[in-house]
Structure 1
């Protein structure tokens, strides 16, 4: 099972990672970072598991996502 770590200080909330995740395991946080952006958040659940496909990390223009296997 994979794990996604979002670097909140780099995330601008563009939501490209949300669209890229084939399992819907990323959503926007209700909290904001120090720049005032809602950041992406890894949600491990819904009966689906992260396969560490790295689509989310590849789509991120700010290199704000690390994917671990």
Structure 2
């Protein structure tokens, strides 16, 4: 099994404090009109700084188990 990690948001929980934006070392998050948005997902290194700092648990890293696919070549 391989763990797949992805940055996620709960927009309804965000109060637009900007703490996660300030602590993101890669500037992935931005403060939008309705709260935080993932503006540059491709830059995310999944360090968890945003998740650790968010007082409302609106930003988090989700882990999913994915089957590791192996291809047999004959």
Counterpart contact for 1:57–1:67, Cα < 8 Å: yes
- Is residue 43 of structure 1 aligned with residue 46 of structure 2? no
Correspondent of 1:59 among 20, 28, 53: 53
CA offset digits 1:4-39 (Å, max 9, x no partner)? 211011100000000110011100122x3xxxxxx1
Residue equivalent to 2:27? 24
Q: Kindly tell me the number of residue pairs found equivalent between the two proteins.
A: 60
Task: State the superposition RMSD in angstroms.
Answer: 2.0
Q: Which runs of 5+ in 2 are unaligned?
A: 64-74
- Distance in 1 between the 2:30 and 2:50 partners? 12
Please identify which structure carries the higher helix content: 2
Displaced runs of 4 or more, over 3 A = none
Question: How does the TM-score come out when normalised to structure 1?
Answer: 0.73
- Distance in 2 between the 1:21 and 1:52 partners? 10
- Distance in 2 between the 1:58 and 1:41 partners? 17
